[in-house]
Amino acid sequence: NAGVTQTPKFRVLKTGQSMTLLCAQDMNHEYMYWYRQDPGMGLRLIHYSVGEGTTAKGEVPDGYNVSRLKKQNFLLGLESAAPSQTSVYFCASSSLRQGTNSPLHFGNGTRLTVT
Amino acid sequence: QQPVQSPQAVILREGEDAVINCSSSKALYSVHWYRQKHGEAPVFLMILLKGGEQKGHEKISASFNEKKQQSSLYLTASQLSYSGTYFCGTEEDNDMRFGAGTRLTVKP
C-alpha cells in the first residue's frame, strides 16, 4: 500500500545545478500536484496536472518545470537552482474533479537545500 | 488566491475547545481540512461540499457557509494528539490552494 512516493527524501544542491524530483502514485489518480512549503507560508501550489500528458501552472511556477508522461508519475524539475528554492516539496494526488468528495493524498516530502 | 486562516496560532490546555476559521474571496466548490504534524505530510481530516453541511471526525467538526465563502473547524475537548498545524484548502478551477495554516498546541 505505497500511496504517493517521493524521491529523493533529501537533497543539497549548489546554486545553478539542476535536479528532478519524482512523484509516483499507485492509486490510479487523475490529478497530481506539486507544492512547496516554507515557514509561515503554508503550502503553495507550483504546478499541477489533471491527467496524463497535461500540466498547468499554479501560484508559484517560476523556476520550475513539470512533466506527466505517464499517469502514475509527475516530475518536478529545477533547471538552475537558486537559494530561494530551498524548501520542502510535497507531491499530492486525487481522483476526482472539483466539488466532489475526493481528498488529496500527500507524499512524505523532499527537503531541498540550495547553497 | 490562497484562502485566509485565523488565528495563526492557538495554545490550549487539554479538554479546552478551539475554532479555526478559513475564508476566501472567491466562490467555493468545497473546503478541505488537513492536519500536519511536525516533519510529516499533511493528513486529510474532512471535506465539506456546497450545501452548508457539517461533518465530524472524532471530536473535530466543521461547517461550510458557501454564501459567506467561509468554513470553520471546531475542536472540542482537545487532546494532546490534536497538536499540529491545521490547513484549509479551497478548490479553484482544477487546482487546490491552501491557507497559511494555524498552529495548534495542546498542553497537559
Cβ atoms B20, B72 nearer than 8 A: yes
Q: How far is it, in rounded angstroms, from Cα B97 to Cα B88?
A: 8
Task: Inform me whether the C-beta atom of residue A39 falls under 8 Å from chain B C-beta atoms.
Answer: no
What's the pLDDT tens digit per position in A16-57? 999 999 999 999 999 999 999 998 788 999 999 999 999 999
Distances (CA, A) of A17 to A10, B42, B73: 15, 29, 42
What does the pLDDT profile of chain B (108 residues) look like in tens digits?
Answer: 789 999 999 999 999 999 999 999 888 778 999 999 999 999 999 988 876 566 666 789 998 888 888 999 999 999 999 999 999 998 877 778 999 999 999 999
What's the pLDDT tens digit per position in A61-100? 999 999 999 999 999 999 999 999 999 999 999 986 655 6
Whose CA is closest to A4, among A103, A112, A114, A113? A103
**What single-letter amino acid sits at B40?**
E
- Cβ of B30 within 8 Å of Cβ of A44? The answer is no
- State residue B52's pLDDT score: 58
Task: Inform me whether the C-beta atom of residue B98 falls under 8 Å from chain A C-beta atoms.
Answer: yes
